[in-house]
Amino acid sequence: MMRIEKIRLVIADGQPAVLTGLQAWFEGRGRYCIAASAKSAGQLLAQIDDARGDLIIIGDALGDTHELLRALRERHPHMPVVVLTSESDPRTLLAMQHAGARGIASTRDELRELGRMCDRVLSGAEGVVSRRIAGFLQATDERGVRQDYAHVRMRVRPFNAATISC
């Protein structure tokens, strides 16, 4: 069944250029409309009750992303949130998921990928991450600690089969 109504987005980012760019890109797709936009966390929280959005997209230029996610979860537990972040630390990314982000995209991702992620989140998927964010998360062990091999040094020695005796 085709959706007749447009998807109502609430977009918030502390950088006006990013906010304007996101608004223009999503509105240019034709299936989205901007229900509200905010330049700060306080402005977002003030507008969110009246916005009646289907999806919230927040940038990490708003301040404490974890605290904002918790506040959004308390007020609107069923409204999905996608975070657009420049963060690459796996522990921080995992903390965003635990705080309530249903999707996480990198600020370095193409907007098409962000759009695909939003579609997946709107379909009910949780734990959706962009390919770039997935790469950051895969570089961790089971505790969420980054596997950093920068300090490992390798020394290659020639191997001569003639020196091995059985």
What are the tens digits of pLDDT across the range 74-124? 988 899 999 999 999 999 999 999 999 999 999 999 999 999 999 999 999
Residue 1 belongs to some domain of the structure = no
Give the pLDDT confidence of 3-29 residue by residue, as tens digits. Answer: 568 899 999 999 999 999 999 999 999
Round to whole Å and give the CA distance between 122 and 13: 20
Round to whole Å and give the CA distance between 56 and 108: 19
CATH number of the structural domain spanning residue 147: 3.40.50.2300
Residue 89 belongs to some domain of the structure = yes
Considering the entire predicted model, what is its pTM?
Answer: 0.80
The per-residue pLDDT for 63 is 84
Round to whole Å and give the CA distance between 38 and 36: 7
The helix or strand, by DSSP H or E, that contains position 57, with its residue range, turns out to be strand 55-59
Question: How many distinct structural domains can be found in the chain?
Answer: 1
What the block records as the tokens of 25 is 């890109």
Q: How many CB atoms within 10 Å of residue 15? A: 15
Residue 2 belongs to some domain of the structure = no
The per-residue pLDDT for 160 is 55
The per-residue pLDDT for 54 is 94
**Are 101 and 85 spatial neighbours (Cβ–Cβ below 8 Å)?**
no
Question: Helix axis angle, 131-138 relative to 90-99, nearest 10°?
Answer: 120
Q: How confident is the model at residue 51 (pLDDT cuts 50, 70, 90)?
A: confident
Q: What is the extent of the structural domain holding 125? A: 7-163
